[in-house]
Amino acid sequence: MTTREKSMGLFEHVKELRQRLFRAVISWILATLLASAFADLIVEWLVQPLEGGSVIVLSPTEAPIIYFKIALATGFGLALPYILFQVYGFVAPGLYPNERSIVLLGIPAVFVFFILGALFTLQVLIPVSMPVLMGFLGEVVEPTYSLENYLSFVTTLVVWMGLLFQTPLVIYIISRFGFVTPTQLAKARKIVWFLAAIFAAVVTPTTDPVTLLLVTGPFITLYELGIILAKFAVKQRKRQEEKREEQL
């Protein structure tokens, strides 16, 4: 526990928490106002994969609701680095120096990997899978989608793929604490690949092989990257243990 934390009472902690929450909310509001100016362009970009199909709204309030949802979500994404900075500023006084370094590296890494997952979904997964989905019964039905349902489909994939892209970080952390070893991870490779295919079938609201492959392939790649990071984590843990032994 740091000197600053010892000198702060409950009231001071609550006051600081209130101030940081206020700053986080204000940053979200300002970012949302900025994003609202581009909400139309964002929706237009999101519906681009629907080439050959059309998107409609089914109620007078659907379009305004989608507009504000897009503005809020985009604003939150823009403000997220500052919000995370406020979270770190509140918890940092109670952390040891080595814990602070892990958090300082971990928070940006989580953010970056989630963004990579979102970009992969929006730039690769959806543009490739949508023509395949729209081709089913193409001679019988005309692809027409509700804007709310389509964006719900996109959001679901973005969230799941963003979480899926955290795989290397999760593997690194559990390896750093000694729960698994790179050898164990390598031996479990075939099982993980099989589970990845099942996971892809569950999280993707489609059964076409192209979409399943586009979800399974990145997960396998991320798992292999996680094995590399696990080896690095083991080396770091050994170095820390050697330093502790030298200090003793």
**What pLDDT does 89 receive?**
85
Which residues sit opposite 56 in a β-bridge? 146
**What pLDDT does 52 receive?**
63
**What pLDDT does 126 receive?**
86
Binned at pLDDT 50, 70 and 90, residue 51 comes out as confident
Sign of CA dihedral 194, 197, 200, 205: negative
Rounded to 10°, the helix 62-91/97-120 angle is 160
Q: Would the pTM count as exceeding 0.95?
A: no
DSSP for 49-102, written as a single string: T-TT-EEE-SSTTHHHHHHHHHHHHHHHHHHHHHHHHHHHHHHGGGS-HHHHHH
**What pLDDT does 35 receive?**
92
Q: Distance between CA 136 and CA 126 in Å, rounded?
A: 16
Convert the pLDDT of each residue in 87-128 to its tens digit. Answer: 888 888 877 776 777 777 788 888 888 899 889 888 888 888
Is 227 or 241 the better-scoring residue by pLDDT?
A: 227
- In three-state secondary structure terms, 207 is coil
Phi, psi of 196 (to 5 degrees): -65, -40
Sign of CA dihedral 221, 222, 225, 227: negative
Q: By the 8 A CB rule, do 56 and 86 touch?
A: no
